[in-house]
Amino acid sequence: MTFSEMARTRQSCRRFDSRPVEQEKLERIVNSARLAPSACNSQPWRMTVIHREHMPDFAKCLQNMGMNKFTSNCPAFIVINEEAMNRTAKIGGRLLKQHYASYDIGILTAHLCFAAMEEGLSSCIVGWFDEKAIQKMIGLDPAKKVCLVLCLGYAVPEDTLRPKVRKDLSEIVKFL
Ligand SMILES: Cc1cc2nc3c(=O)[nH]c(=O)nc-3n(C[C@H](O)[C@H](O)[C@H](O)COP(=O)(O)O)c2cc1C
């Protein structure tokens, strides 16, 4: 698949098959994602891969206030937490009033989604979660920020392609 085909056909999956995700696939996905660019090559991230059979209660961390119920059927998760930026990224960010780590982690997450697609897997980025519960469950220092969780698995066969709802190009792009 070309990149434009992947961009057109990627969609958030909320209907996963119970089939487990192979360890080798998860390893290839995180290995591709680690090549993502970051400000000053700071790589201010860490990924924790969770196979559902090892942590059956993990989905509960994503379901506070009745949200993200679909995650109960998800066989694998990647928690992305923020690590310290290097000095240059920190100083640059301070001077320009930017928090580069957030952008870096967004790019990492996009790499994860497309790397998963290459492996025939579907994904859903989850930004609604109980941070403290995740920190406790994965043994993460409570001072470290959990940024996003990626749900991964095989989509059920009947999970068809939905039409994309997006702003018109003219609203979001200006050619000078
Ligand atoms: C930062 C971020 C947080 C998100 N959090 C959630 C979430 O908690 N639950 C959920 O079902 N989808 C979540 N999504 C998925 C978006 O709802 C989805 O990407 C958007 O509606 C576009 O749909 P598509 O991914 O199918 O193209 C999140 C996406 C992003 C980028």
Ligand 1 site residues, Cβ closer than 6 angstroms: 11-12, 14, 68, 124-128, 148
Residue 55 has pLDDT above 70, yes or no: no
Which ranges of the chain would DSSP assign to H, the alpha helix? 3-9, 23-33, 87-96, 100-118, 131-138, 169-172
Overall pTM surpassing 0.95 (yes/no):
yes
Residue 16 has pLDDT above 70, yes or no: yes
Which residues are CB-contacts of 51 (< 8 A; sequence separation ≥ 6)?
A: 20, 21, 23, 26, 75, 76
**Ligand 1 test: best mutation among 13, 16, 125, most atoms within 8 Å of CB?**
125
What residues does each domain of the chain span?
Answer: 3-172
Compute the average pLDDT of residues 21-48: 98
Report the pLDDT value the prediction gives residue 52, as an integer from 0 to 100: 64
Report the pLDDT value the prediction gives residue 58, as an integer from 0 to 100: 95
Select the CATH number that applies to the domain covering 3-172 from these four: 3.90.226.10, 3.40.109.10, 3.10.450.50, 3.30.70.600: 3.40.109.10
- Alpha carbon distances (Å) from 10 to 32, 44, 141: 17, 26, 33
Compute the average pLDDT of residues 149-173: 96
pLDDT mean across residues, the chain: 96
Amino acid (1-letter code) at residue 167? K
Cα of 88 vs centre of ligand 1, distance in Å, is 31
Report the pLDDT value the prediction gives residue 51, as an integer from 0 to 100: 85
- Kindly state the percentage of the chain with pLDDT values over 70: 97
Cα of 136 vs centre of ligand 1, distance in Å, is 24
